Amino acid sequence: MIRTVACSVGVQERCRPWFFQAPAGSYQFAVAIQEPRQGKLFGDDLPDPSTLTSTFLAILRASSEDPAGALNEIVPNDEYRTTLLKLTRNLAPTGKLFGRMEITGTGDWQPVVLIPASRLAIPEVLKTEKGQDVDDSEVLEIKGVLRALDLNNDWLEITVEGGAQKISGVGDAIDDLIGPMVNHNVTVSARHRKSKLLFIDFETDEEVSR
């Protein structure tokens, strides 16, 4: 089963994102949200671009600064909250290639700053979210290059030194999180059961891919 995260068609049509390239020699880039070309005569309950911006920044700040507290109030749905935690964790730097990411909105928005420490608390919160009762001694960390995946058939394959490792049980993973990481370095947490490696979690790695 492939799990995807997408907003409604109404929101997509109402607020279209635009990406702008960074200035030469800079790592900055901008994302703008286009307002509807024609306003409606009567109001509706769809969010406007300003609300989307403020909500996005609030979720990102809560995910990085208070994932066990403030995020619960903003995102009460367990599945959405877990997904947002994973996306924030993978967005935050590890410190290998860069050590700080700053995200802000135009105007007087207070920026959200992601640093390596921002992603350290999230794995423990994720364990609590899942209700995991896993002995850390049973968990294997497999680092390598994600070469293949088939979420419909419940597996992914990591190339490591000396060969490849096939990991099963990824049916509830988020396609938007895993799909873009093919041919990139990743770290997969798994447990060994009955001659199989069973998926627990997935993280990106900033090291240069092979």
Query: DSSP characters for 24-72?
Result: TT----EEEEEPPSS--SS--SSPPHHHHHHHHHHHHHHHHH-TTTHHH
| CA gap 147, 144 in Å, rounded | 9
Cβ–Cβ under 8 Å, residues 88 and 63: yes
Q: How much is the pLDDT for 145?
A: 92
**φ and ψ at 95, to 5 degrees?**
95, 0
The answer as to whether 163 is a domain residue is yes
Q: Which of 130, 157, 176 is the last residue before a domain boundary?
A: 130
The answer as to whether 209 is a domain residue is no
Cα radius of gyration rounded to whole Å, the chain: 19
| CA gap 89, 115 in Å, rounded | 10
The answer as to whether 40 is a domain residue is yes
The domain total for the chain is 2
| CA gap 104, 100 in Å, rounded | 13
Q: How much is the pLDDT for 73?
A: 92
At a CB cut-off of 8 Å and minimum separation 6, what does 6 contact? 12
Q: How much is the pLDDT for 2?
A: 37
The answer as to whether 4 is a domain residue is no
Q: Which of 84, 104, 130 is the last residue before a domain boundary?
A: 130
Query: What b/e readout covers 6-44, taking b as 16+ CB neighbours within 10 angstroms?
Result: eeeeeeeebbeeeeeeeeeeeeeeeeebeeeeeeeeeee
Assess whether 23 and 125 both reside in one domain. yes
Assess whether 151 and 79 both reside in one domain. no
Higher model confidence: residue 118 or residue 39?
118
Residue 59 confidence (pLDDT) above 60: yes
Over residues 82-105, mean pLDDT: 85
Q: How much is the pLDDT for 196?
A: 85
Average pLDDT, the chain: 78
Q: How much is the pLDDT for 54?
A: 86
Residue 156 confidence (pLDDT) above 70: yes
| CA gap 125, 129 in Å, rounded | 6
Assess whether 126 and 157 both reside in one domain. no
Q: What share of the chain is helix, strand, coil (3-state, %, to 5)?
A: 30, 30, 40
Assess whether 148 and 93 both reside in one domain. no
Residue 5 confidence (pLDDT) above 70: no
pLDDT tens for 157-171 read 999 987 888 998 886
Cβ–Cβ under 8 Å, residues 174 and 86: yes
The answer as to whether 3 is a domain residue is no
Cβ–Cβ under 8 Å, residues 133 and 163: no
Assess whether 93 and 169 both reside in one domain. no
pLDDT tens for 192-201 read 887 888 888 8
Over residues 79-103, mean pLDDT: 85
Domain that holds residue 193: 136-204
Assess whether 27 and 123 both reside in one domain. yes
Higher model confidence: residue 105 or residue 26?
105
- End-to-end C-alpha distance for the chain, whole angstroms: 29
